[in-house]
Structure 1
Amino acid sequence: MKKKIYKLRRNPAAFISDSSNRLIKGLDSIPCINHLLESPTLIKTLADPEMILPSRKFSPFQQVQSYYNRRLIDKHNSPLVSVIIPVYCCETTLVKSIESLLEQSYRNLEIIIVDDASIDMSWQEMKKLAQIDARIKLVKRTTNGGAAAARNSGLARSSGDYITFHDADDYSDPYRIELQIIPFLKNPELICTYCNFLRVDQASQESIFINGHLVKPRMISMMVRRDPVFTELGYFAPLVVSEDTEYFLRLKLYFGEERIKYIFKTLVVSSFSINSLLFSNSLVTRESENRIRFELDNKAKNTLKQIEASLHDMSCGQKSFYQWPQ
């Protein structure tokens, strides 16, 4: 039942069209209902009512909730959270992205920015940011290895009790880290939390529907306990695409879904760019200004098959769950 409610809140149009209930399914033939289902504001509000507030940072509800969260955080001595950001030629989005981390309500952060041999001014921007805040640590790779290799470089240098990830074109809600760490402090059995995200067009800053979805789960938003996750699973697999999906599925297979907490809040906004790694490995069709259709190309599809086969071998004991960096 919970999964059905999540689907309704994330994508009401798909919930109605896929319903086996004839009465519910018939709603999509009513013009006014169809018009409502096209509204980004409605979908954002269903997925996370606080998204319609002018500024979540100063939301009265968030202020009250944060007060009680802070008491729990202080009780647990404010554990260190490492945030790892891979960077490759992101000079136009990097500063805003990192500023969203510096403005987090949760303050005890280790922000590790890894330059993956950028050929633009990203490294120079990173050095400026590091001068502003001592929580920022810089890593410079001499060869371009992709997001997985860059994240692995960050993981190797991290020291946080908890580890999470953030892309260089992402914007994190001011309460994201706080809201993702609180479940761990309440439940010592949890090993991972993750949240929702939406995409905005890099040029127009309008919300974008991707394959009919506005709000979706964000795998790379996962926050994990260093011990046992990093100590048992190790690093990201050396994949060009879907390395975040592989790590998340490996984690779920090893520890069990019951130890993962899905925080149904939209805490990350990600930029849409046709030149990004995901979409450059896809066949993309722009249906309208705010609607995109894409299908993974054969190379990306083969990677997903490779992931499926690898996880099968792990489940059968034929392959180690632990991955070393390459």
Structure 2
Amino acid sequence: MEQRRLGSSANGINVSALGLGCMGMSGMYGPSDRAEGIATIHAALEAGITLLDTGDFYGMGHNEMLIGEALRGTSRRDQAIVSVKFGALRDPAGGWSGYDARPKAVKNFLIYSLTRLGLDHIDIYRPSRLDPDVPIEETIGAIADMVKAGYVRHIGLSEMGPETIRRAAAIHPIVDLQIEYSLISRSVEDRILATCRELGIGITAYGVLSRGLISGHWQKDALNGPGDFRAHAPRFLGENVARNLALVDALRKIAVEKNVTVAQIAIAWVAAQGTDIVPLIGARRRDRLDEALGALLVSLSKEDLAAIERAVPKGAAAGERYAAAQMAQLDSERA
């Protein structure tokens, strides 16, 4: 498995060229199979994937416990690099009620995560979003205290804009920014990517298949019940989904010519945007994991990249990546 560096040579960390995003194993896309999720984590580790990404609010702690159980059941525990997002607040009905990144909340969230995961430290710890009521310096300072205490190894960010990234990096080295990046979600290219590269900060790209929309497997009206949050995502609704699937059909023609799948070419495109970028694949099943791993064998020439750009030009997607209320909470999307 190829390794990529997140962060600077002095303060960074080497991880596998693909990471496994575990969110979908905890019901965020509708019902999930616990045993298959654990088997998928085991298969990823066996294949050489080291980076496992989660959030303490995925399934209200379910995802962390799932990963903890999976790691206890494998001989490859020492190779796992666990990345945790914190701070998103949920209610008993599963709704979202803001963010809490106060220093005392950081330490509270951290001990719960360590307990659920069954770990003595977390490799990369990051606020899930910018808390508008807490200066980023205070949040990063609190995590830095946990680095000094040995409970956290590295600090990351998630969905932060250029100014916030700079302020955070002034307090403590930042190894990576986690942000959505795919053929149909490219706002990171406007200013954020350049800022991260200037500061020596890597990118862990989630949503590389846009939550399945550009996987080549998605069909209109394929939402997986009321627990599937894509039911509220504009790109999956109304006329938008049909327009977006037309982009997938254009991409499919290129994939067929290269004898690869749509998912593989979409993942390979993200990986080809720089060696400082690590795509997170959201496979919930071993067959989808196997397909995604095949992206590592896909080589894209300049001609291929130009053809992909013509098929799915920047800004071609119909609909925003989140509902309006969630978009408003993204520091990364602020002008």
Superposed pair shares fold, TM > 0.5: no
- Computing the radius of gyration from Cα coordinates, the structure with the larger value is 1
TM-score normalized by structure 1? 0.29
TM-score normalized by structure 2? 0.29
**Structure with greater strand share of residues:** 1
